[in-house]
Amino acid sequence: MQVHEDKKFDTVDYSEQNLSESEFTDCEFEGCNFTKTNLTSATFMNCKFNNCNLALANLKDVGLKDAQFTDCKLMGLDFSVCNNFLFAVGFEKCQLDYSTFYGKSMRRTKFIACSMKEVDFTEVQLSESIFTSSDLNGATFSRSVLEKADFRLAKNYIIDPEQNKIKKAKFSTEGIAGLLANYNLEID
């Protein structure tokens, strides 16, 4: 097992490598490539990822404990298989298209200016989460807890109020159509 603490990794190419069971604490990754990397059982605690590519990385049992992603490509990732213990993430200007968070607890998660097309949020706890300037085109919300979540500046979402808990969630007037889509209404 490799243990790394308080290190900065700049433009390292980890693509298709095996980093399983590695531990990273208070580390920063800048411009690193993790495409198809085996991260099984790796732990990232208080780590920052800037301009990194993690597309199709294996996240089985990965510990993401206060991991922050900025300008990262995270397409097609299965976050549902990450370790649940202390799972906490944040995303800004990231591509999360075709990823899944099925069944995760993600209270107070920030999704700022992210592309989140076709993302699966089925049975996800997203209370008090923020979706500022994020594109949720085709994202699935089913049996999700969205209480006090903020969708006011999000776009292209469709959320069925009968299939999700949305008490005190915040929506803009323009976004109301996304809440009524299942009723086949004409809204001008």
pLDDT per position as a tens digit, 83-124: 999 999 999 999 999 999 999 999 999 999 999 999 999 999
Any bridge partners for residue 48, and if so which? 28, 68
Confidence bin at 165 (pLDDT 50/70/90) = very high
How far is residue 97 CA from its own chain's centroid?
A: 10
End-to-end CA distance of the chain: 59
Inside any domain, residue 82: no
Task: Please give the Cα distance from 173 to 120 (Å, whole number).
Answer: 24
**Domain limits for position 17:** 1-68
- The number of folded domains in the chain is 2
Question: Are residues 58 and 103 both part of a single domain?
Answer: no
Question: Are residues 42 and 119 both part of a single domain?
Answer: no
Inside any domain, residue 120: yes
The one-letter amino acid at 120: D
pTM here is: 0.93
Q: Map residue 92 onto helix, strand or coil.
A: strand
Inside any domain, residue 78: no
Task: Please give the Cα distance from 142 to 134 (Å, whole number).
Answer: 19
Domain boundary among 68, 86, 108: 68
Question: Are residues 114 and 35 both part of a single domain?
Answer: no
Inside any domain, residue 73: no
For the four alpha carbons of 116, 118, 48 and 86, in that order, the dihedral sign comes to: positive
Inside any domain, residue 181: yes
Residue 185, pLDDT above cutoff 80: no
